[in-house]
Amino acid sequence: MPPDLAGPVEVELARLTEHIPAPASMPGGARYEPKFDGYRAVVVRSEAGARIWSRQRHDLSDRFPDIAAAAERQLAPGVVLDGELTMLVEGRLSFDALQRRMVTSPSKAHALVKSVPAAFVAFDLLAVGGVDLRTQRWTVRRGRLEQLADRWRPPLQISPVTDDLAEAQEWFDVLPEAMGIEGLVVKAANSRYVPGRREWLKVKRRDSVEVIVGGVIGPIDRPEVVIAGRYRAGEFVMVGRTVPLGAADSRQLGAVLRPASRGHPWPDEIASVRWGGKDSKKPLTKVRPDVVVEVLADAAMQAGQWRHGLRYVRYRADLKPEEVPTL
């Protein structure tokens, strides 16, 4: 086994694109896979057993003992798989369930296995028999992966793939609402596996939703980022934040915002780590929660909050806060 495949393993990444690429737009043709809302992970099967490594190079084996045990039973030594850890709750992918597994002590993780089992969805084969396959074309790696997966049983699974644009479009249109798929990942059939590079493409399904402006980053008359809110059982809570606003949108929104009155429930500072950012806390300019805006949101949610940045569309002067759906 090459040392850099023994674990932890650096993975290939995807860059965001707005539209589904045409089949002929990528070398050898485009191949389309569902983008699962889970944890990126690499399973390494060695002579000593099976380990699960996160994209951030953390060992997750003790948090997902069901996956590690299945990999040890069903994979031969020398196999390395790239894929996604997922959980289904009532037929939908649940990032919240994954988070609960992550924050549970290893001694208690076994108790969660029966109540909410995990699955590992493999989409690439990096090594077999200890031989590095990353220099092989995607079509070769996929063919070998399908041969291996033919003998698998849950919780090990193989990701669906298609070269048919119409089928990919149907997945993109139907699966986000049906089971929480985020969109598509698109790969070139002739591509090699390049660790650390963003050679793949990802297309996220975004739906139009309405939210209430509860605060902004930046001055109230020239907001830079909107902090979105909705009501949950009468309590006004944060549900997400937008990507930075354009100048025209900032001016238009700033013209209708008013400073919050006493008793606004939100804090004076907010950290972007709340939504996966890395910077420190920033002052929150709280506003009256009486302005409704339309945003584009993807399917990735955690505890009632959108994990990724919302895209501002427009101010909805025709809607009142009480008309915005509650949590």
CATH of the domain at 45: 3.30.470.30
Task: Kindly state whether residues 135 and 275 are assigned to the same domain.
Answer: no
Q: What is the pLDDT of residue 60?
A: 94
Q: What is the pLDDT of residue 9?
A: 97
CA dist list (Å): 241 to 210, 247, 293, 305? 13, 17, 12, 9
Q: What is the pLDDT of residue 114?
A: 79
Task: Kindly state whether residues 260 and 123 are assigned to the same domain.
Answer: no
Task: Kindly state whether residues 123 and 191 are assigned to the same domain.
Answer: yes
Collapse the DSSP code of 198 into the 3-class scheme (helix H, G, I; strand E, B; otherwise coil) and give the result: strand
What are the backbone dihedrals phi and psi of residue 176, each rounded to the nearest 5 degrees, phi first?
Answer: -60, -45
Q: pLDDT, tens digit, for every residue of 170-204?
A: 999 999 989 999 999 999 999 999 999 999 999 99
- 106-115 vs 65-74: helix axis angle to the nearest 10? 80
Task: Kindly state whether residues 106 and 213 are assigned to the same domain.
Answer: no
Task: Kindly state whether residues 235 and 102 are assigned to the same domain.
Answer: no
- pTM of the predicted model as reported, rounded to 2 decimal places: 0.80
Q: How many domains does the chain contain in total?
A: 2
Task: Kindly state whether residues 149 and 64 are assigned to the same domain.
Answer: yes
Closest CA to 12 of 185, 129, 164, 162: 185
Alpha-carbon distance of 166 to 38, in angstroms, equals 25
Low-confidence ranges of the chain (pLDDT < 70): 272-280
Alpha-carbon distance of 325 to 327, in angstroms, equals 7
- CATH code at 225? 2.40.50.140
Cβ–Cβ < 8 Å for 206, 297: yes
Task: Kindly state whether residues 219 and 190 are assigned to the same domain.
Answer: no
Task: Kindly state whether residues 196 and 211 are assigned to the same domain.
Answer: no
Q: pLDDT, tens digit, for every residue of 76-87?
A: 999 999 999 999
Can you give the residue range of the structural domain that contains 82? 3-204
Task: Kindly state whether residues 249 and 227 are assigned to the same domain.
Answer: yes
Task: Kindly state whether residues 37 and 177 are assigned to the same domain.
Answer: yes
